[in-house]
Structure 1
Amino acid sequence: MGKRIFLLIATNILVMVTIGIVLSILPIGNYIQDGQIQFTSLLAFSAVVGFTGAFMSLAMSRWMAKMMMGVKVLKEDGPLSPMERQLVEKVHRLSRAAGITKMPEVGIYNSPEVNAFATGPSKNRSLVAVSAGLLQTMDDDAVEGVLAHEVAHIANGDMVTMTLLQGVVNTFVVFFARIAAWIVSRFAREDLAPIVHFIAIIVFQIAFSILGSLVVLAYSRYREFHADNGGADLAGKDKMIHALRSLQNYTNRVDGEQASLATLKINNKKGTNLLFSSHPDLNERIRRLEAK
């Protein structure tokens, strides 16, 4: 669900800003000669930085998810409650059915929200985590549908394809941020121009990264339909539809305060609000599955 995309975007922005600060301090990637930008050099520099940032974010994704969400990883051979053991067994059964050879880590994080996510740098180094609220709110069939959807994300390699897209977006973010920073610095006094340029790079990179995330979110919405289909193949269409209807019932009950926190989660958003969501409208997801 939305946590996977939120963590990827947040980690990517953090990594990119850090790389930008370091490279602005060090004399690396000299794309300004005689006071003019060498656009070919800048584009090559931007691609290296952009894809490095994206793949660093991917490599850190599982660790960041555990740290930021406080995920408790459930060890198959460790002391588990009946509910926890059943959760691990379900994820592993669905993973084997999806052709995944190395089982994902399975975890629970303590939150009343109804949510789950899958993340990790590869199919063999993945994590499926669910909230305590989801386990308390949903029945067994709905939980299986949600887990099948998340396993489908892993089997489809969505984190890798999302990273490649993020690398392209990052390339243009770095490229245009540094052009904009150079233009702004031209209006500053000569002695202040380097400082203005340094600050402007950071500001523009953050701003353009946020705009670029709209492209990533749009692709995420597109991939959700594929994960729904994959979940239906793994758990059965009825369970997948039941899971989505359960999510729909939950979102309809969410009060105003909780709704304000649900920007990147499962939703029934339409119109302009959908641009800022990682997931398509639940009604449309259900409709497509029913027509499958």
Structure 2
Amino acid sequence: MKRIFLFVVTNLAILLVLSITLRLLGVDRMLDEQGVGINYNSLLVMAAVIGFGGSLISLAMSKWSAKRMTGAVVIEQPSDPTERWLVETVRRQAERVGIGMPEVAIYEAPDMNAFATGMNRNEALVAVSTGLLQAMTKDEIEGVLAHEISHVANGDMVTLALIQGVVNTFVIFLSRVIGHFVDRVIFKTEREYGPAFMVTTLIAQMVLGILASIIVMWFSRQREFRADAGGAQLAGRNKMIAALERLQRRHEPSQLPERLEAFGISGGEGGLRTLFMSHPPLEVRIAALRAMT
């Protein structure tokens, strides 16, 4: 529940800041130009500005924020054989899928994890934890790196941001329509907006935000299957399966910050909670790889 709560709160916080900014700029006044009516075109434009604004700002800052949240150190000049192998493996895989060489980084964390992020597939960041380097074999690490490179090649970071933007837009639009209806029809407010509008809008935005997160997380799980398949093609299916089996045998809580968990290699649980998980259960991912032709 903590992950769900923080995911929703983070998005609502971004939407709230942008909403207040546009209100101060007078954009909200455009929506009430027709007395008790509502200007749906203006509302949709404002919702899109707020909805996509938050997602695109997060995407633009993704590499910068990821480095600072994890303490990841980019390998400028490899200082040992492990770093040299890491950089060369990423370079070889990036060349095979036709993307620019990503920055390669290592961050201190005891769990086995890795992530890829960045707003441009030719200027991405691939980072691995010290726990992963210590606990996995080179074949398994190669599978993990191939999975992350596949995320970059598929443009998953950009696509996820766009989907989040679309979802945010409809959450804002529908919540304000609901707030307008309650304020004007039920409470009979005739001028400006009454307290019922703000309260109803905030409640509707929270409820719709939770429902919308199910859509976003569903897409995130599908991209994990695609990245697993891409990793199997790049590094070999056995290496990809071996990496996931290693994660399964040593299942431990992710140490990645909440905002980066969707970009990690591990994660996912069974049951109803799967609806709100960014990753499918490991056993399901392994079964999907074994079923590949």
TM over 0.5: yes
Deviations 1:164-186 (A, max 9, x none): 21121011011022224435655
Name the amino acid aligned to 1:113.
D
Name the amino acid aligned to 1:56.
I
Seen in structure 2, the aligned counterparts of structure 1 residues 179 and 235 have a Cα distance that, compared at 3 Å, is: same
1:65 corresponding residue in structure 2: 66
How many aligned residue pairs are there? 280
Deviations 1:74-101 (A, max 9, x none): 11xx35233222222221111111111x
1:276 corresponding residue in structure 2: 276
Paired residues for 1:220-231 under 5 Å: 220-231=220-231
Report the TM-score, using the length of structure 2 for normalisation.
0.83
Any idea what SS the aligned residue of 2:279 has?
A: coil
Paired residues for 1:139-218 under 5 Å: 139-183=137-181, 185=183, 187=187, 197=197, 201=201, 204-218=204-218
> Gaps spanning 5+ residues in structure 2: where?
none
Any idea what SS the aligned residue of 1:36 has?
A: coil
Contact persistence 1:17–1:206 (CA under 8 A) = no
2-structure distance, mates of 1:237, 1:9: 35
1:49 corresponding residue in structure 2: 50
Deviations 1:90-130 (A, max 9, x none): 21111111111x21111122111221111110111211111
Name the amino acid aligned to 1:80.
S
1-structure distance, mates of 2:140, 2:6: 24
2:233 corresponding residue in structure 1: 233
2:126 corresponding residue in structure 1: 128
2-structure distance, mates of 1:70, 1:219: 28
Any idea what SS the aligned residue of 2:176 has?
A: helix
2:106 is the counterpart of 1:105: no
1:39 corresponding residue in structure 2: 40
Report the TM-score, using the length of structure 1 for normalisation.
0.83
Q: How far apart are 1:14 and its partner, in Å?
A: 4.2
2:101 is the counterpart of 1:84: no
> Gaps spanning 5+ residues in structure 1: where?
none
Name the amino acid aligned to 1:124.
N
Any idea what SS the aligned residue of 1:37 has?
A: coil
Q: How far apart are 1:269 and its partner, in Å?
A: 1.7
Seen in structure 2, the aligned counterparts of structure 1 residues 96 and 209 have a Cα distance that, compared at 3 Å, is: same
Contact persistence 2:109–2:255 (CA under 8 A) = no
